[in-house]
Structure 1
Amino acid sequence: MKNEDFLEVFNKKLQNLIPKSSKVEEAMNYSLLSGGKRIRPILIKTICEDMMVDIDLVWHPALAIELFHTGSLIHDDLPQIDDSPLRRGRPSCHVVYGNDFAILAGDGLMLKSFCVLSQSPANENVKAVLFREFSRSTYDVLIGEALDVEYTGKRQELDKVIKMYAKKTGGLFSFCVASGAMLSEKFHLIDKLSKLGSLLGVWFQVVDDLKDALSDETAVGKTVGRDKILGKPTVVSIVGIQKAENFADKLLKGVVKRFSELGMNGTVDFLKSLAK
């Protein structure tokens, strides 16, 4: 299935997930349906295609990952965290609905992600593994976010920042990359692919840091320059732009090589296009 066709169906499924019978559900839909590249769902779809997984098994983990990711972005944008007024090219959830409903909307999307995953048509053994890995990866996101808050305004060592990235951003990527192994019941590959996903998340976060330092709001669709203003220790702030770019390029080449060795050519092509 082409990515465009996948996204057309995926976005229709998203639209039908949450009713709009209350203010908090309106806030949830406001952020969930505001666009975005859907990189994580497409990554799950691509990984699963490489591992010959039936598309009917892909939708629920792909929807769950987007729900949780969007909920985490709502919380990330709050004044108490990154204080970002712009997300996906329009005002952040808390700007439109207030801090209280934004907190509840973020909670709601995260909780809904588990509800959706529970409805997977996979067999019970696979569903148990999906829940275990999804719970682990989402908890890693929490710990990574907490470390990000803890490190803000303080000088920090590079290795600690990278480990924070591996949880904050790498948590969900680890689930995405390992999803094919879970759904194809190749359980012996889960740990290897989870670690590969974490590395991919580190690369993605470094690229995001570079965008924050070099891009404008129109180009990226969110507030930029916040890392420097808030005093966040990032790979860019520690080693500089040129070395950060070199680090990201080297990291991605290593990840792509590993996927190529595993014969996951569709994933290799997707990551190369994503890098561009």
Structure 2
Amino acid sequence: MNNEGFVKKLNEKMTRLINKSTMVEQAMAYSLLSAGKRIRPVLIKLICEDMGVQEDLIWNPAMAVELFHTASLIHDDLPQIDDSPLRRGRPSCHVVFGNDMAILAGDGLMLMAFCVLNQTPADPVSKSMLFDLFSKSTYDVLIGEAMDVEFTGKEKDINDVIEMYRKKTGALFSFCFAIGAILMKKLEYLEKLINVGSTFGVWFQIVDDLKDVSGKDENVGKTTGRDKALGKPTVVNIMGIQEAKNFADNLYESVIVQLKSLSLNKVVDFLCALRE
């Protein structure tokens, strides 16, 4: 199945998760089923294909990651955090449904993520490992978001900011990169793939920061210029645009080298296309 077909089927499966009988479910569906790129689920698909995982084991982890990621975006956009009125090219959840319902919608998607992951048709040991790593990764996302809030308006060391990126963005990517090794019981690769995912997440966040500085709302799909307006200490603000680009390039090349060493060729091709 190509990536476009996978995303289409993923969206169909996620549509059936929420019945929309209540306002909070309508808010959940509004954000979940918006035109996201589904980068994390596609990464899971490609990593699992590269490692020989059977298709029926891929769907639940892929949906769980997208559910949690969407929930984190809802909360991130709230006036109390980033106060962003635009997400994925349309008004943010709180703009349409109100702050209170957006908070509950984010909570609902997070809880649903764990329910969906728990239904993965894997053997008990693999399922337990998936659940443990997902629990740790999502908690790290929370800590990273809290660090982001705490750091706002303050001068921070570059190492503090990078550690925040590893948790806020890298933790969920670490889970994505590790799924194939867990399901195929190739645990000798697990720690390396977790670290690769973390490094990729730092690269991904720096690229996002660069878009915030130089991108346009209609191209990026969300409100740009928020980092500077909110006084966030980012790699771009600390290093400057060119040095941040150089740093990001080095991280990217490191990720590619490590993925090639594991013969994760479909993933490499996808990341090369993602970078363009």
Q: CA RMSD in A?
A: 0.6
Match of 2:98?
Answer: 98
Hey, what's the Cα distance between the residues in 2 that align with 1:134 and 1:227? 28
Cα shift at 1:91: 0.4
1:62 has 2:58 as partner: no
Match of 1:183?
Answer: 183
Match of 1:53?
Answer: 53
Hey, what's the Cα distance between the residues in 2 that align with 1:111 and 1:104? 10
Where does structure 2 lack aligned partners over 5 or more consecutive residues?
none
1:220 has 2:220 as partner: yes
Residues 182-236 of structure 1 deviation map (CA, whole Å, 9 limit, x = unaligned): 1111122221111110000000000000000000000011000000000000000
Hey, what's the Cα distance between the residues in 1 that align with 2:229 and 2:135? 33
TM-score where L is the length of structure 2: 0.99
Paired letter, 2:232: K
TM-score where L is the length of structure 1: 0.99
The count of residues paired between Structure 1 and Structure 2 equals 276
Hey, what's the Cα distance between the residues in 2 that align with 1:84 and 1:275? 25
Where does structure 1 lack aligned partners over 5 or more consecutive residues?
none
Cα shift at 1:35: 1.1
Cα shift at 1:20: 0.5
Which segments of structure 1 move beyond 4 Å, counting only runs of 4 or more? none
Match runs of 1:1-276 below 5 Å: 1-276=1-276
Residues 111-147 of structure 1 deviation map (CA, whole Å, 9 limit, x = unaligned): 0000000111001111000000000100000000000
Hey, what's the Cα distance between the residues in 1 that align with 2:262 and 2:116? 30
Paired letter, 1:27: A
Residues 75-110 of structure 1 deviation map (CA, whole Å, 9 limit, x = unaligned): 000000000000000000000000000000000000
Identity %: 64
Paired letter, 2:226: R
Hey, what's the Cα distance between the residues in 1 that align with 2:93 and 2:10? 22
Hey, what's the Cα distance between the residues in 2 that align with 1:33 and 1:47? 24
